[in-house]
Amino acid sequence: MLFMRPDTATKLIEFVESFRAAKTLSVTWYGGEPTINKAFEIVRSISDRLKRLKINFKSAALVSNGYMLTKEKAHELNYLNISNVQISIDGPRQVHDQRRMLKGGRPTFDRILANIDTLMGSSFTGECNIRVNLDRQNISSFSTIRNYLLERYSGTRVTVYAGYVDTAANHEKEGGCSVCAAEWADFSVEQFRDLNAVSKEGVYPLGGLLNICSATTSSGFVVGPQGEVYKCWEDVGRPNMVIGNVHDTPAICNDDLVAEYSIAADPFLDEHCRECSVFPICSGGCANRRLRSKFFGEPELNFCSLYKEHLEAYLLEYFKAFETRAICADVLGHGGDRWQDRGYRVVHA
Ligand code: SF4
């Protein structure tokens, strides 16, 4: 396993400092696994130094499998400015343990949940989002695990959401065990209709803000363990997607690739997008997928929004919920928050 060396961490701090005009800094720690003892020491050391910089180190998030998130580490999270912990699981115990076991085959589900219990019982004041990774094999078990987790963590700052597992994220060809876009759309609408459950993207689009990420902003970067810099975390480990290295001066040297992310990935230059009816709420989809599809030899990769083919189904369910909320507010004297509507639902015959 590759860990960031101390001299690389020092160069990383200098890289951050080089953005003199930047006022705030947000960091996401992910791996590998950032809660492995040695990795967590590096998180600690870098965070300490970031906190001493002039820039306001505003917040951090931690993406973890939860297995090594001990009580001691949980108590440190506030100090490390970590306000959000994302922990992923693969379904109910028997499903998860068949897929996510230790090297010798031992299960991990119970320990991960025990660690979440510890986290929520610790001094940590942030939120914990449990992402349930879903693909074609385990999607039908989502309701079971969601209900179980919501009950177990009722009244805490734990949320549970369905995470789309995209086999293309491993830089393999589309297909494999991913759920196709149409199935995912059906699943999302059904979850919203029957359980008031929303996927992380929400049920109704927020107006094209969803694809703002490190890849599409000028001051967002992903730094790998050897100091290599990328625009997108989907690119980590792909030598042809490296835009520079914090050990070099200047750190960013692959201007062509930076330009491709900032100009070639611009959906306004794509006539399909300009003519697409969901452009205002899609804003051109994932920049990384767009580049890979159009310029890096993966033409079959889909980067279009789910709303493109399924907007009507999403809108209909959203409208029903909106109507229900309005009626609850007018007739029953409450409403306004979708979660208060449980038990009342306008049904269109
Ligand atoms: S759905 Fe596809 S074609 Fe339409 S705006 Fe989004 S990326 Fe462009």
Nearest one of 54, 48, 31, 39 to 5, comparing CA atoms = 39
Query: In this structure, are strands 228-230 and 244-245 parallel, antiparallel, or unpaired?
Result: antiparallel
Closest ligand 1 atom number to CA of residue 303: 7
Q: How far is the centre of ligand 1, averaged over its atoms, from the C-alpha of 216 (Å)?
A: 16
The best mutation among 271, 288, 302, 305 to test binding of ligand 1, ranked by most ligand atoms within 8 Å of the C-beta, falls on 305
Residues of the chain where predicted confidence (pLDDT) is lower than 50: 169-176, 338-343
Residue 139 near residue 91 (C-beta atoms within 8 A): no
Q: Residue 303: CB within 6 Å of ligand 1? A: yes
Per-residue pLDDT at 200: 57
C-alpha–C-alpha distance, residues 107 and 294, integer Å: 41
Q: Residue 197: CB within 6 Å of ligand 1? A: no
Q: Residue 308: CB within 6 Å of ligand 1? A: yes
Q: Residue 205: CB within 6 Å of ligand 1? A: no
Per-residue pLDDT at 284: 87
Per-residue pLDDT at 89: 97
Per-residue pLDDT at 172: 44
33: which 2 tokens?
A: 């696994």
Beta bridge partners of 129: 86, 159
Residue 234 near residue 240 (C-beta atoms within 8 A): no
Nearest one of 232, 230, 229 to 212, comparing CA atoms = 232
* 291 CB-near residues (< 8 Å, 6+ apart): 260, 261, 264, 265
pLDDT tens readout for residues 291-326: 989 888 888 888 888 888 888 888 888 888 778 777
Residue nearest to atom 3 of ligand 1 (CA): 273
Describe the strand order of the beta sheet including 56-64 as a list of residue ranges: 24-29, 56-64, 82-89, 127-134, 158-164
C-alpha–C-alpha distance, residues 154 and 118, integer Å: 15
Per-residue pLDDT at 337: 52
Angle between helices 181-195 and 307-327 (to 10 degrees): 10
Beta bridge partners of 57: 25
C-alpha–C-alpha distance, residues 281 and 318, integer Å: 15
Per-residue pLDDT at 317: 83
The string of DSSP letters for 227-241 reads SEEES-GGGTT-GGG
Per-residue pLDDT at 342: 47
Residue 319 near residue 345 (C-beta atoms within 8 A): no
Q: Residue 284: CB within 6 Å of ligand 1? A: yes
Per-residue pLDDT at 201: 57
Q: Residue 285: CB within 6 Å of ligand 1? A: yes
Nearest one of 41, 43, 313, 50 to 182, comparing CA atoms = 313
Question: How many other C-beta atoms can be found within 10 angstroms of the C-beta atom of residue 114?
Answer: 12
